Copies of this chain bind each other. A is one copy, B any other.
Amino acid sequence: MTVSELTASAQDYLKMIWSSTEWAEAPITVGAMAERMALKPSTVSDGIRRLAKQGLVTHAPYGSIELTPAGRAHAVEMVRRHRLLETFLVQVLGYGWDEVHDEAEILEHAVSDTMIQRIDEKLGHPTRDPHGDPIPSGNGLPHRPQGDPLTSVEPERTVTITRISDADPDMLRYFTQLGLGPDTRLQVLAHRPYADVTTIRVGDRDVDLGPSAAEAIWVVAN
């Protein structure tokens, strides 16, 4: 029943499927998974077939990919591991928020349940990782995240950042330069649709963000 009976690869597939529904609606496709995991579609197709055989996902050929309850439990556990480890690396080992994702991507498969528990205790049961993402609790219930992409906020609104996608370390370093992180307040000045640029005011500074940056930032009104 514990996650560590699965191969690292299976753990990553499940985590990816689950994550695809955390901040977006559309169910994930084989092609998108292959893209995001830097694998070939044939490899993913095969992997999904193995997961289905283990009862962790349901999948009819050419059909949609859905986690079973067992698959979802494993996936949430992996997300918990990943985010606790990221938090640990920042808090205890002095990593920057742009350095932790790749390290956690490996460690999440290697640490024992015991170690996760001790990390959780040492950190005082944190609820958000360094990128603002919610850390699911030990009993598998996610702390429900909130927010919407910066691109969907009406101009003139002042908002607070809830999370920033941890996918691109370079982008995170750029955000650090700008003083943008979880809980940063900012004002949306304008969206320029055909230029695909969002202008924000953070502190006393006006900044233009391209679409990939603006989509990586999620905010709530305040």
Q: How many whole Å from A49's CB to the nearest CB in chain B?
A: 25
Tell me which residues across on chain B come within 8 A of A109, comparing CB atoms: 110
The answer to whether A110 and B107 have CB atoms under 8 Å apart is yes
Per DSSP, chain A at the interface is: helix
Tell me which residues across on chain B come within 8 A of A114, comparing CB atoms: 99, 103
Can you list 24 A-B contacts (CB < 8 A)?
A: A89-B115, A92-B92, A92-B122, A93-B115, A93-B118, A93-B119, A93-B122, A94-B118, A94-B122, A95-B118, A99-B114, A102-B112, A103-B111, A103-B112, A103-B114, A103-B115, A106-B110, A106-B111, A106-B112, A107-B107, A107-B110, A107-B111, A109-B110, A110-B110
Tell me which residues across on chain B come within 8 A of A110, comparing CB atoms: 106-107, 109-110
Which residues of chain A from 77 to 103 have a CB within 8 Å of any chain B CB? 89, 92-95, 99, 102-103
- Please state the number of chain copies in the assembly: 2
Total A residues in contact with B, Cβ cutoff 8 Å: 19
For the complex, what is the distance from the CA of A102 to the CA of B112, rounded to whole Å? 10
For the complex, what is the distance from the CA of A99 to the CA of B93, rounded to whole Å? 22
Which residues of chain A from 17 to 74 have a CB within 8 Å of any chain B CB? none
Q: Chain B residue with minimal CB distance to A111?
A: B107
Q: How many whole Å from A20's CB to the nearest CB in chain B?
A: 25
Q: Which of A93, A99, A118 has the most CB of B within 10 A?
A: A93
Tell me which residues across on chain B come within 8 A of A103, comparing CB atoms: 111-112, 114-115
Q: Chain B residue with minimal CB distance to A119?
A: B93
Tell me which residues across on chain B come within 8 A of A122, comparing CB atoms: 92-94
Tell me which residues across on chain B come within 8 A of A95, comparing CB atoms: 118
For the complex, what is the distance from the CA of A115 to the CA of B102, rounded to whole Å? 12
Q: Which of A92, A94, A102 has the most CB of B within 10 A?
A: A92
